[in-house]
Amino acid sequence: MLTKKAKYGLKAMLHLSRLHRGQTAFVATIAEENDLPKKFLDAILGELKNAGMLASKKGRNGGYTLAKRAEDISVGSIIRALDGPLAPIACASRSSYAPCTDCRTIEECEIRKVMLDVREAIAGVLDHKTLAEVRDVHGDQMASFVYQI
């Protein structure tokens, strides 16, 4: 399940993707316009900055901006930066693989085989959907995308 942290991060990234190139937004503005808790959003934006997706400037004309084009940021990369691996269990993860303690071998585990399919399906949607595509989706298309995740 998508955490609030990742959902809020996606909302903030979408907000920033609507700005003109080089334009910045303050955390308070993003939080207010998207009904997000400012203190939590502050931490989330810090993580996204550390992941290389955001840049920030201090001062009166400061704030956050995308560090890359919205077309170059996948939804999957945002979720991974905030929530970690997409896999539902550790033995199905590509980036954070850990064997299960209750399985004899990974080759024999039927549950792992299903969870690998789940992981591939999730990654197939989230890694091939860019921030720009989500931003530009309207009406029924958006409802369909939200239903997929």
- pLDDT at residue 68 is higher than 90: yes
Mean pLDDT of 66-83: 96
What confidence tier does 136 reach under pLDDT thresholds 50, 70, 90? very high
pLDDT at 31: 97
Neighbours of 126 (CB within 10 A): 19
Query: 110-126 and 75-83 helices cross at what angle (nearest 10)?
Result: 120
- CA proximity to 77, closest of 48, 39, 114: 48
Question: For residues 123 and 148, which has the higher predicted lDDT (pLDDT)?
Answer: 123
Which residues of the chain form CATH 1.10.10.10? 4-66
- pLDDT, one tens digit per residue, over 79-122 is 999 999 888 888 888 888 887 888 788 787 888 888 889 889 99
What's the CATH number of domain 4-66, 1.10.10.10, 2.40.128.30, 3.90.580.10, 1.25.40.10?
Answer: 1.10.10.10
**What is the CB-side half-sphere exposure of residue 110 using CA atoms within 13 A?**
0
Q: Which range (62-66, 77-81, 119-123, 136-140) has the least confidence?
A: 136-140
- Residue 107 backbone phi and psi in degrees, to 5: -65, -30
What confidence tier does 142 reach under pLDDT thresholds 50, 70, 90? low
Mean pLDDT of 19-40: 95
